[in-house]
C-alpha cells in the first residue's frame, strides 16, 4: 500500500517536552486518526508536519518525494487547520476570503461562502458578520473548516476538528471527510487528531495512538480490532485474568479489560465474555496501558 | 507576490485602516474650514492649539496600525499565528508585508502633513512629522521583540512628543520654530525611521523562524 | 463464549453475498466503489474494504486493478445449494412458529399452497 507521508526519526525537542523519535507512515487514500490524551504531543506533531514549527531532527517525506515543507507546492497541497485560534481575532469571513484567495492558488472563494452557509455560520455576504473574537469555539471551527475545504488539496491535516463541534455538526464533518476521500478516489488522504474518538469512529481507517510524545500503537482499524479483544467477567475471576490483560478495571458486578486476541483461549476457562473492541474501547485500553507503564 | 498583496494576505480587508486615516484627515480638514469661516480669536486659538496635538497622536496611531498588525502575525501568543505560519511562502509574505506597511505608514504621514500644511501651515505639523517618523522607527526596532511593554514604547513616545509640543506652545513668549529644531529633530527622526525599518526587514527571517 | 454482535464488515459482506446469490447484482457487474460505499453507508473506508476482501476470499468477486471489484460467474450448483440451505432455515422457523401457535401440519401445508400461488 502507498503512503502519503513517511516520517523517519522525527523529533521535536523542547526544554520540558520531547516529541519522538517517531517513525511512521500515513497511508494514501485513507483517513488516519491521531489519538492521544491531552499533552500526548498530537498538536506538536501536526504543527511540525504542517510547517508551523520546525522539527529538531529526522526526515519527513510528503507525497512520496517531497522533503521540504517550506516549499510552496507542498504547502499548497496540504489543507491544515489548527484546533483553536486559527484565524486572527479581528477577522471576519471577508478577511478570511481575501487573505486565502491571495495566499492559495487553489482557494475557491465562492465555494467558501457556500460551505459557510452549509455549516450555518456567517459568510462574507451575511449581514453584520461578527469577528472571530466574538464567535463561539464551534463557529470558529466551522469557519476554519469551511476555509480549508474550499481549497484544492491532496491531504487534509486537521487538529481536533471535532472537539468543539456539536454532535450533529460532528456527524456532518465525518460525512464531509468521507466525501473528500470518495472524491479523491484513493488519491486524497486525511490526518486528524482527537482525544475523543467515540464520535468519529466511522471516519477513521488507520489509527495512531500517542502517549507522552511517543507512539504506542498504530495500524489499520480493522486489523487492530482483530489484534485486541475486550474481556468481561465475574469479579471473582479478576485476579486470575489480570495478568493477561493490558489494562483493566473492576467493580462489584464485573471486571473489564483489554487483552491481546492471541490470549483469547486463556479467558475461555474463566467463562469471560470476549468482544471485538470499538475504536473507543481500544483507545481507552491502550492509553490506560501506556499511562500505567510509563 | 506584490508588496501590497502580501500585506493583504496578512491584513485581510484594509477598510479599517482607510477609515481610521480618513477620519483623521476629515477632522483636520473640518477644523481648517471652521477656522477659515469663523476667524474669531477664541476659535482660532482653540483650533491652533488642538491641531498639532491631534495631528501628532492621530497620525502616529493611524500610520503605525498596519505595521503593528504585521508584527503581530509573528506573535506566538496572538491568535492567527498558526494561520500565518502555515501559509505558502510564509516568511516572504511577512517580509513583504512589513516593507509595505512601513512604506504605507510613511506615505500616510506625508499625505497627512500635506493636508495640514495646506490648511494651517508648516508649524502645526512639524512635531507630528517628527513624532511620526520617530515612532515608525521605534516600532520597527521593537516590533520583533516579544515584550508587550516594548511594543507600547512608540505610543508612549508619541504621547511625550505631543505633550512636549503642547507645553512648548503654551509658554507665554510663544513657540518659535528655530533652525536648531529643524536641523536636528527632523533629520534625527528620519534617520531613526529609516534605520528602524532596515533593522526590522533584515531581522525578519530570524524573527519569523524563532519559535515560542 | 463469543459476543453475538456481528462486525459491520461481516454484515456488509453478508448483504452483498445475498444480493449476488439471488442475482440482484449480476455477474460481470462491478460492486460500488469502496470509498463511495463508505460514504453512503457512513462507515470507514477500511471497513468497506474488509467486507469486499472477504467476498473476494469466498470467490464471489475479484479485484480488478484500478477498477474495483467485479462479480464472478457463480457456480449454478453451488448457488442452488445455498438457496436450499436458506430455504431449509426459513421452513424450520415457520414450523417452529406453527407449533407455537398450534397450527397443524395440514394447515401449514395449506397455507404454503395458498401463498405459493400469490
Q: Which residue has the higher pLDDT, C24 or A190?
A: A190
**A80 inside 8 A of chain B by CB:** yes
Question: How confident is the model over A209-215, as a mean pLDDT?
Answer: 95
What are A91-127's pLDDT values in tens digits? 999 999 999 999 999 999 999 999 999 999 999 999 9
B95 Cβ neighbours under 8 A, 6+ residues apart: B201, B204, B205, B208
The DSSP line for C64-81 is ETTTEEEEPPPPHHHHHH
The answer to whether ipTM exceeds 0.95 is: no
State how many domains chain B has: 1
Helix/strand/coil for C2 = strand
Helix/strand/coil for C7 = coil
- Containing B128, the helix (H) or strand (E) segment is helix B122-142
Q: What is the pLDDT of residue C2?
A: 39
Average pLDDT over chain B, rounded to an integer: 84
What is the C-alpha to C-alpha distance for residues C60 and C71, in angstroms, rounded to an integer?
6
Q: Which of the 8 DSSP states describes residue B146?
A: S
Q: What angle do CA A205, A207, A211 make, to 5 degrees?
A: 165
CA dihedral sign of residues A153, A155, A158, A161: positive
A276 Cβ neighbours under 8 A, 6+ residues apart: A225, A226, A229, A230, C3, C5, C7
Residue C3 scores a pLDDT above 50: no
Residue A286, all three cell numbers: 491502550
Q: Percent of chain C, pLDDT > 90? A: 58
User: Which C residues in the span 25-84 are in contact with A, Cβ-Cβ below 8 Å?
Assistant: 33, 35-36, 38-39, 42-47, 49-50
Are the Cβ atoms of C38 and A178 closer than 8 angstroms? yes
Average pLDDT over chain A, rounded to an integer: 93
**A274 inside 8 A of chain B by CB:** no
Q: What is the pLDDT of residue B180?
A: 63
What is the C-alpha to C-alpha distance for residues B49 and A224, in angstroms, rounded to an integer?
78
Burial of A128 (0-12, 13-18, 19+ CB in 10 A): exposed
Are the Cβ atoms of A85 and B85 closer than 8 angstroms? no
- Containing B108, the helix (H) or strand (E) segment is helix B90-119
The DSSP line for chain A is --EEEEEEEEEEE-SS-EEEEEEEEEETTSEEEEEE-TTSSHHHHHHHHHTSS--SEEEEEETTTB--TTSHHHHHHEEEE-SS--S-TT--HHHHHHHHHHH-TTB-HHHHHHHHHHTTS--TTSSSPPPGGGS-HHHHHHHHHHHHHTB--SEEEESSSSTTS-HHHHHHHHHHHHHHHHHHTTS-EEEEEES--GGGGGG-SEEEEEETTEEEEEEEHHHHHHHEEEEEE-GGGHHHHHTTEEEEEE-SS-EEEEEEGGGHHHHHTTT-EEEPPPHHHHHHHHHHHHHHT-
- Could you say which of A31, A184, A275 has the minimum Cβ distance to residue C3? A275
Q: Would you place residue B50 in the very low, low, confident or very high pLDDT band (cuts 50, 70, 90)?
A: confident
Please tell me the least confidently modeled range out of A1-5, B77-81, B160-164, C90-94.
Answer: B160-164
Q: What is the pLDDT of residue C1?
A: 33
What are A267-293's pLDDT values in tens digits? 888 878 889 999 999 999 999 999 988
Are the Cβ atoms of A179 and C39 closer than 8 angstroms? yes
Q: Which residue has the higher pLDDT, B164 or B48?
A: B48
Q: Nearest chain B residue to A102 by CA: give it.
A: B9
Question: Phi, psi at residue B180, to the nearest 5°?
Answer: -60, -45
What are A164-181's pLDDT values in tens digits? 999 999 999 999 999 999
Question: How confident is the model over A44-50, as a mean pLDDT?
Answer: 97
- Indicate the class that CATH gives domain C8-71: mainly alpha
Q: Which residue has the higher pLDDT, B91 or B135?
A: B91
Q: What is the pLDDT of residue B56?
A: 79
Q: What angle do CA C82, C87, C92 make, to 5 degrees?
A: 130
Domain A3-212: give its CATH superfamily.
Answer: P-loop containing nucleotide triphosphate hydrolases (3.40.50.300)
In this structure, how many other beta carbons lie within 10 angstroms of the beta carbon of residue A116?
A: 26
Are the Cβ atoms of C45 and A31 closer than 8 angstroms? yes
Q: Would you place residue A72 in the very low, low, confident or very high pLDDT band (cuts 50, 70, 90)?
A: very high
Q: Percent of chain B, pLDDT > 90? A: 29
Helix/strand/coil for C61 = strand
Q: What is the pLDDT of residue A229?
A: 94
Q: Nearest chain A residue to B7 by CA: give it.
A: A99
Residue B37, all three cell numbers: 469661516
Residue B21, all three cell numbers: 486615516
Q: What is the pLDDT of residue B61?
A: 80
Q: Would you place residue B3 in the very low, low, confident or very high pLDDT band (cuts 50, 70, 90)?
A: very high
Please tell me the least confidently modeled range out of B76-80, B83-87, B121-125, B194-198.
Answer: B121-125
> How far out from the chain centre does Cα A220 lie?
14
Mutate to test the interface with A, among C7, C12, C43, C46 (most CBs of A within 10 A): C46
Strand-pairing partners, residue A218, are A208
Question: Phi, psi at residue C104, to the nearest 5°?
Answer: -80, 165
Contacts 24+ apart (CB under 8 A), A179-183: A179/C39, A180/A149, A180/A156, A181/A29, A181/A30, A181/A31, A181/C35, A181/C38, A181/C39, A181/C45, A182/C33, A182/C35, A182/C36, A182/C38, A182/C39
CA atoms within 13 A on the CB side of A243: 4
The domain ranges of chain A are 3-212, 224-292
Strand-pairing partners, residue A247, are A258
Are A41 and A212 in contact, with CB atoms under 8 Å apart?
yes
Q: Would you place residue B39 in the very low, low, confident or very high pLDDT band (cuts 50, 70, 90)?
A: confident
Question: Phi, psi at residue C45, to the nearest 5°?
Answer: -60, -40
What is the C-alpha to C-alpha distance for residues A154 and A74, in angstroms, rounded to an integer?
10
Question: Phi, psi at residue C93, to the nearest 5°?
Answer: -60, -45
Q: Which of the 8 DSSP states describes residue C62?
A: E
Which candidate, A34, A31, A53, places its Cα nearest to that of A44?
A53
Distance from CA of B10 to the nearest CA of A (A): 7
The domain ranges of chain C are 8-71, 76-117
Amino acid at each position: 500500500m502507498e503512503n502519503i507521508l513517511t516520517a523517519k526519526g522525527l523529533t521535536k525537542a523542547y526544554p520540558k517536552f520531547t516529541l519522538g523519535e517517531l517513525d511512521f507512515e500515513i497511508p494514501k487514500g485513507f483517513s488516519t486518526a491521531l489519538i492521544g490524551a491531552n499533552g500526548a504531543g498530537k498538536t506538536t506533531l501536526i504543527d511540525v508536519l504542517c510547517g508551523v514549527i520546525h522539527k529538531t531532527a529526522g526526515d519527513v517525506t510528503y507525497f512520496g518525494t517531497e522533503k521540504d515543507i517550506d516549499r510552496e507546492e507542498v504547502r499548497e497541497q496540504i489543507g491544515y487547520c489548527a484546533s483553536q485560534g486559527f484565524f486572527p481575532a479581528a477577522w471576519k469571513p471577508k478577511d478570511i476570503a481575501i487573505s486565502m484567495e491571495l495566499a492559495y492558488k487553489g482557494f475557491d472563494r465562492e465555494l467558501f461562502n457556500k460551505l459557510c452557509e452549509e455549516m450555518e455560520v456567517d459568510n462574507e455576504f451575511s449581514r453584520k458578520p461578527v469577528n472571530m473574537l466574538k464567535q463561539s469555539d464551534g463557529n470558529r471551527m466551522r469557519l476554519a473548516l469551511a476555509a480549508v475545504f474550499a481549497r484544492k488539496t491532496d491531504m487534509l491535516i486537521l487538529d481536533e476538528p471535532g472537539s468543539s463541534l456539536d454532535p450533529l455538526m460532528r456527524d456532518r464533518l465525518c460525512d464531509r471527510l468521507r466525501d473528500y476521500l470518495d472524491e479523491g478516489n484513493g488519491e486524497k488522504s486525511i490526518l486528524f487528531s482527537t482525544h475523543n474518538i467515540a464520535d468519529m469512529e466511522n471516519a477513521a481507517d488507520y489509527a495512531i495512538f500517542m502517549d507522552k510524545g511517543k507512539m504506542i500503537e498504530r495500524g489499520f482499524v480493522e486489523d487492530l480490532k482483530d489484534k485486541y479483544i475486550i474481556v468481561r467477567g465475574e469479579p471473582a475471576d479478576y485476579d486470575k485474568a489480570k495478568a493477561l490483560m493490558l489494562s483493566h478495571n473492576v467493580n462489584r458486578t464485573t471486571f473489564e479489560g483489554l487483552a491481546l486476541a492471541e490470549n483469547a483461549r486463556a479467558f475461555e476457562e474463566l467463562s469471560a465474555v470476549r468482544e471485538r473492541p470499538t475504536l473507543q474501547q481500544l483507545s481507552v485500553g491502550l492509553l490506560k496501558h501506556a499511562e500505567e507503564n510509563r | 507576490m506584490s508588496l501590497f498583496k502580501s500585506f493583504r494576505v496578512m491584513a485581510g480587508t484594509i477598510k479599517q485602516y482607510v477609515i481610521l486615516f480618513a477620519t483623521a484627515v476629515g477632522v483636520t480638514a473640518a477644523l481648517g474650514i471652521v477656522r477659515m469661516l469663523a476667524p474669531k480669536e477664541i476659535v482660532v486659538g482653540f483650533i491652533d492649539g488642538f491641531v498639532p496635538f491631534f495631528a501628532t497622536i492621530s497620525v502616529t496611531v493611524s500610520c503605525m496600525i498596519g505595521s503593528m498588525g504585521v508584527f503581530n502575525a509573528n506573535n506566538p501568543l496572538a491568535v492567527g499565528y498558526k494561520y500565518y505560519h502555515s501559509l505558502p511562502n510564509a516568511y516572504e509574505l511577512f517580509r513583504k508585508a512589513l516593507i509595505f506597511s512601513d512604506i504605507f505608514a510613511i506615505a500616510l504621514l506625508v499625505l497627512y502633513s500635506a493636508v495640514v500644511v495646506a490648511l494651517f501651515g508648516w508649524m502645526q505639523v512639524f512635531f507630528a512629522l517628527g513624532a511620526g517618523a520617530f515612532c515608525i522607527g521605534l516600532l520597527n526596532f521593537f516590533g520583533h521583540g516579544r515584550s508587550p511593554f516594548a511594543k507600547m514604547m512608540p505610543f508612549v513616545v508619541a504621547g511625550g512628543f505631543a505633550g512636549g509640543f503642547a507645553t512648548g506652545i503654551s509658554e507665554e513668549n510663544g513657540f518659535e520654530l528655530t533652525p536648531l529644531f529643524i536641523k536636528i529633530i527632523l533629520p534625527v527622526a528620519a534617520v531613526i525611521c529609516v534605520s528602524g525599518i532596515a533593522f526590522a526587514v533584515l531581522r525578519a527571517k530570524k524573527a519569523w523562524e524563532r519559535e515560542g | 463464549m463469543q459476543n453475538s454482535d456481528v462486525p459491520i464488515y461481516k454484515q456488509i459482506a453478508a448483504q452483498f453475498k445475498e444480493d449476488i446469490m439471488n442475482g440482484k447484482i449480476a455477474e460481470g457487474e462491478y460492486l460500488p466503489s469502496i470509498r463511495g460505499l463508505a460514504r453512503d453507508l457512513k462507515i470507514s473506508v477500511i471497513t468497506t474494504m474488509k467486507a469486499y476482501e472477504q467476498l473476494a476470499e469466498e470467490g464471489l468477486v475479484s479485484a480488478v486493478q484500478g477498477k474495483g471489484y467485479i462479480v464472478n460467474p457463480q457456480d449454478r450448483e453451488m448457488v442452488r445449494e445455498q438457496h436450499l440451505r436458506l430455504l431449509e432455515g426459513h421452513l424450520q422457523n415457520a414450523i417452529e412458529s406453527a407449533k407455537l401457535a398450534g397450527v397443524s401440519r395440514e394447515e401449514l401445508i395449506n397455507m404454503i399452497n395458498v401463498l405459493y400461488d400469490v
